[in-house]
Amino acid sequence: MSENKSGGTSRRDFLKSTGTIAVASAVAGMAIPRVHAAEDNTITVALIGCGGRGTGAAADAMSVNRGPVKLIAMADVFEDRLTGSYNNLSKQFGDKMDVPQDRKFIGFDAYQKAMDCLKPGDIAIFASPLAFRWVHFGYAIQKGLNVFMEKPVTADGPTSRRMLQLADESVAKNLKVGVGLMSRHSRALQELQKRIQDGEIGDIVLMRAYRMTGPVGSAFSEKWPGQPNELLWQLRRFHSFIWASGGCFNDFYIHVIDHCCWMKNAWPVKAQAVGGRHYRMSPDGKPAIDQNFDAYSVEYTFADGAKLICDGRCIAGCENIYSSYAHGTKGSAVVSKAGDCGPPSSIYKDQSLSSASKTWESDIAPDQRNPYQNEWNDLVEAIRNDKPYNEARRGVEASVVSSLGRKAAHTGVEITYDAMLNSPEDYAPGADKFTMDSPAPVKCDAEGKYPIPMPGILTDKEY
């Protein structure tokens, strides 16, 4: 993936440094006797979804310095993903892993088997495509497990409503839940948010968020080759399909959207947007058949009339811009200088963002500079000290806001937050019953093409 001109990095760049593989996948499991940690104070972990994200999350879990953490079970739909993840993690964390062959689970029911290896109070990591998040979360709540789930967590109304209900259930059971919106754990952004809420830039009237880079992840897919079956192939190419990821909009842009809403301390009430498919060619120059647009521009509106403009682009050869800004009645701020939450954050006494007008810049201790590690340190500390800690509802709400912008662009219609949350379209019905032979939620036509958004033509649904 391209860096922006300020040298920012994304989560995928962080994952490369751990030697992990770069494609996320789907999951699931069955049931085996519970495995107890050798030491009473060891927190054991099950990794469900062994692609790049899951491998990175497991590495962060085992890097926590707040007492012993051990990985004891792994699950995925794809055996090669699990094997690659295990091999990569073993190189660095072999002494913190105890995952024999009989605790490596393959299949859509593997999530159950992996979680059955844990005792109440341990941690399940969910890093499969988001269509399965509610399925896995529900089982974790039944088992009394704490959870770390990757973002985004939903892509449609029905699963968002299910996840909100599950979030409330997890709070009622005092479960600790982390969501991979690591900007909230950037110490620079935490300090900036406090300063903004204390009034240093006045009332926010405008925010700007950009993630404009070249092709990323699996967002560009060529014609399905016929093997593996269509469902499994779509799971390997999950960024290409709205049902599996929310498409590139949800998966790539949610970080800058979420942290801007955090600066405002509010969610937008509506959105209108534009977007389009300009070239839609895969990186090797062949026609792409996925469901994404090449470019998006969304105008979110808050209850007080303030705006958030979010621009996203995945086109090779264009200017890379990957940063975010807040503008208030008394000044302005750089939220993320480069990347999803790249420091330093800074405040200015006017709108120029010039060094001469700068009044504050973040300065974070070296051991607090990695937000991916911070979010795991914070989660484990909350578990060990039984502190209130549950990010599930906020993770769902951030996902709904991302879906709101995506759907506004895909339909060409202004949409409210409430309409998005209460929309009837379930993009992956029956995900809890998928098997290796199940049909895919979307089917290609005779030319190998998938249904795509048509703004102004399809206005009540995305495709």
**Mean predicted confidence (pLDDT) in 231-243:** 97
Kindly tell me if the per-residue pLDDT of 235 is higher than 50. yes
Q: DSSP secondary structure string, 61-79?
A: HHT--SS-EEEEEEEES-H
- Residue 355 DSSP one-character state: G
Kindly tell me if the per-residue pLDDT of 161 is higher than 80. yes
Q: How far apart are CA 56 and CA 44, in angstroms?
A: 16
Q: How far apart are CA 296 and CA 191, in angstroms?
A: 30
Please give the pLDDT value at position 286.
82
Kindly tell me if the per-residue pLDDT of 260 is higher than 60. yes
How confident is the prediction for the chain on average, in pLDDT? 91
Residue 134 within a domain:
yes
Q: How far apart are CA 387 and CA 384, in angstroms?
A: 8
Residue 21 within a domain:
yes
CB 288 within 8 A of CB 280: yes
Residue 364 within a domain:
no
Residue 125 within a domain:
yes
| Digit-coded pLDDT (tens) for 403-425 | 999 999 999 999 999 999 999 99
| Digit-coded pLDDT (tens) for 428-456 | 999 999 999 999 999 999 999 999 999 99
Q: Which amino acid, residue 114? A: A
Residue 127 within a domain:
yes
Asked which of 275-279, 310-314, 386-390 is least confident by mean pLDDT, the reply is 275-279
Number of domains in the chain: 1
Residue 376 within a domain:
no
Asked which of 23-37, 220-234, 360-374, 416-430 is least confident by mean pLDDT, the reply is 23-37
Question: By three-state DSSP, how is residue 83 classified?
Answer: helix
Q: How far apart are CA 186 and CA 343, in angstroms?
A: 9
pLDDT above 90 covers what percent of the chain?
A: 88
**How confident is residue 23, by pLDDT bands cut at 50, 70 and 90?**
very low
Asked which of 51-55, 154-158, 286-290, 417-421 is least confident by mean pLDDT, the reply is 286-290
Kindly tell me if the per-residue pLDDT of 14 is higher than 70. no
Domain span holding position 173: 11-182+384-390
Please give the pLDDT value at position 1.
33
Residue 51 within a domain:
yes
Query: Nearest 5°: phi and psi at 410?
Result: -75, -25
CA dihedral 296, 297, 303, 305 (to 10 degrees): 180
Please give the pLDDT value at position 45.
98
Q: How far apart are CA 70 and CA 81, in angstroms?
A: 20
Q: How far apart are CA 137 and CA 145, in angstroms?
A: 9
User: Which residues face 178 on adjacent strands?
Assistant: 148
From residue 412, alpha-carbon distances to 292, 449, 457 in Å are: 15, 22, 9
Largest pairwise CA distance in the chain: 64
Q: Which residue has the higher pLDDT, 172 or 281?
A: 172
Q: Residue 228, preceding bond cis, omega within 30 degrees?
A: yes
Question: By three-state DSSP, how is residue 325 classified?
Answer: strand
- The CATH number covering residue 106 comes to 3.40.50.720
Kindly tell me if the per-residue pLDDT of 8 is higher than 70. no
Residue 242 within a domain:
no
**Mean predicted confidence (pLDDT) in 93-121:** 98
**Mean predicted confidence (pLDDT) in 312-333:** 96
Kindly tell me if the per-residue pLDDT of 13 is higher than 60. no
**Mean predicted confidence (pLDDT) in 257-273:** 98
Please give the pLDDT value at position 7.
37
| Digit-coded pLDDT (tens) for 215-227 | 989 999 999 999 9
**How confident is residue 30, by pLDDT bands cut at 50, 70 and 90?**
very low
Question: How would you classify the pairing of strands 146-149 and 123-126?
Answer: parallel
